[in-house]
Amino acid sequence: MSTPNQISPDELPRADFASIPRYSAGAAPEIDLGDNTNQWGAPPAASAVLREGLDVSRYPDMYGDSLKRTIAKMSGFGPECVVTGNGSDDVLDCVIRAFASPGDTVAHPDPTFVMVPVFSRINGITPVAVPLAADFSMDADALLRTNARIIYLCSPNNPTATPTNVETIRRIIACARGLVIIDEAYVDFTGLSGFLSEAPGLERVVVCRTLSKAYGLAGLRVGYGAASAKIIEIVEKSRGPFKLNIMAERAAVEALTTDSAWVTARVRDAVQNRDRLAGELRVLGLPPLPSVTNFLLVPTPRAFEFARSLRASGIGIRAFRALTGIGDAFRITAGPWPVMERALAALQTALRSAT
């Protein structure tokens, strides 16, 4: 039954949502080398928290206060300079929403983290893609020329795995018209300290990090951002209370403190196996881009064919279509060597089959 003044069901949603796809990367296979998670599993002290459990009849801290204090102490600034989120995806979404209005623009390198244009569009903000230079470095001049309200940088960059030059980042920070987001999801694998500690002293910078990659807690959804207290106050308005659940907050504190030696050791393993995997891929005639992360990007016109045939052996890799300046490519996460051997054997089988 409907009365004449009612909106038709087709017109109930926001009009611009019609052209926004529902993000999906397919179901996770038995071995998932598609999304750069920790292939050694979750760290032990964090896992123990989850096994022991907590009283979930209570609400968590409104803004993840114990995690904010932990990060602040590790980084040498106050907890008022930290925002926590339901994954760093959530932090990115909240920052974009709070610092750009519908109709504004967010400039980002291309290719980069696929969620950035998605979060821009669901907030009514226009993403502006700026191609990477031929050597996969970020084009500071072109990013600055967009005059965007927000410039997003990924350091190191996903999905290319390549580093982002520190001087390029500094130049963008110095000259950007609006806010600069530096996404350091893979900084742990670089051996460099990144911009986290500096962020609170900069007036228009937010540095984002995640516990989903090196820290092995992707399923718990924990991320954070660091910035000046003035910026964080605004991001927390956009975030709202209770985003981080009570179990995730406690496990994240353990992962960052008690588990830190475990994490460092797994990072070392990942880097070592990444280089070994890169060598084997080169032997197969599939040279990857140079990587400073826990994954490799391998440009090949057969990327989707390889992804399909590895999936048939229970191994997930991520295929990308027509990446700007690169073409089709697949991304593969570094893990324990026996897993890498399985992936390499499946790739060899796929290579031997006709194109």
Ligand X SMILES: *Cc1c(COP(=O)(O)O)cnc(C)c1O
**Residues in 151-210 that interact with ligand X by CB under 6 A:** 154, 158, 183, 185, 210
Contacts of 84 (CB under 8 A, 6+ apart): 63, 64, 67, 68, 71, 91, 222, 223, 224, 243, 244, 249
Closer residue to ligand X, CB minimum distance, 154 or 323: 154
**Sign of torsion, CA 187 191 195 196?**
positive
Nearest residue (beta carbon) to ligand X: 87
Q: Please name which of 192, 156, 197, 247 lies closest in space to residue 72, comparing C-alpha atoms.
A: 197
Q: Tell me the closest approach of the beta carbon of residue 292 to ligand X, in angstroms.
A: 13
Q: Which stretch binds ligand X (CB under 6 A): 71-79, 82-90, 269-277, 346-354?
A: 82-90
Q: Tell me the closest approach of the beta carbon of residue 148 to ligand X, in angstroms.
A: 18
CA distances in angstroms from 239 to 82, 95, 252, listed in the order given: 12, 8, 19
Q: Tell me the closest approach of the beta carbon of residue 207 to ligand X, in angstroms.
A: 12
Contacts of 331 (CB under 8 A, 6+ apart): 34, 36, 159, 161, 295, 296, 297, 298, 317, 318, 320
Closer residue to ligand X, CB minimum distance, 105 or 293: 293
**Residues in 223-242 that interact with ligand X by CB under 6 A:** 223
Asked if 113 is part of the footprint of ligand X (rule: CB under 6 A), the reply reads: yes
Closer residue to ligand X, CB minimum distance, 89 or 259: 89
Closer residue to ligand X, CB minimum distance, 36 or 291: 36
Closer residue to ligand X, CB minimum distance, 168 or 210: 210
Closer residue to ligand X, CB minimum distance, 154 or 267: 154
The interface mask with ligand X, positions 37-76, x = CB under 6 A, is: ----------------------------------------
Q: Please name which of 196, 138, 282 lies closest in space to residue 290, comparing C-alpha atoms.
A: 282
Count residues near ligand X (CB under 6 A).
Answer: 14
Name the CA radius of gyration of the chain, rounded.
21
Whose structure tokens read 């796929």? 350
**Sign of torsion, CA 315 317 321 325?**
negative
Q: Tell me the closest approach of the beta carbon of residue 154 to ligand X, in angstroms.
A: 5
Residue of 89, 93, 254, 269 interacting with ligand X (CB under 6 A): 89
CA 61/CA 84 separation, integer angstroms: 11
Residue of 88, 123, 164, 333 interacting with ligand X (CB under 6 A): 88
Q: Tell me the closest approach of the beta carbon of residue 146 to ligand X, in angstroms.
A: 20
b (16+ CB within 10 A) / e for 26-43:
eeebebbbbbbbbbbebb
Closer residue to ligand X, CB minimum distance, 181 or 315: 181
Closer residue to ligand X, CB minimum distance, 15 or 27: 27
CA 213/CA 211 separation, integer angstroms: 6
Q: Please name which of 253, 250, 330, 231 lies closest in space to residue 284, comparing C-alpha atoms.
A: 330
Q: Which stretch binds ligand X (CB under 6 A): 211-219, 235-243, 255-263, 329-337?
A: 211-219
Contacting positions for ligand X (CB under 6 A)? 36, 87-89, 113, 154, 158, 183, 185, 210, 212-213, 218, 223
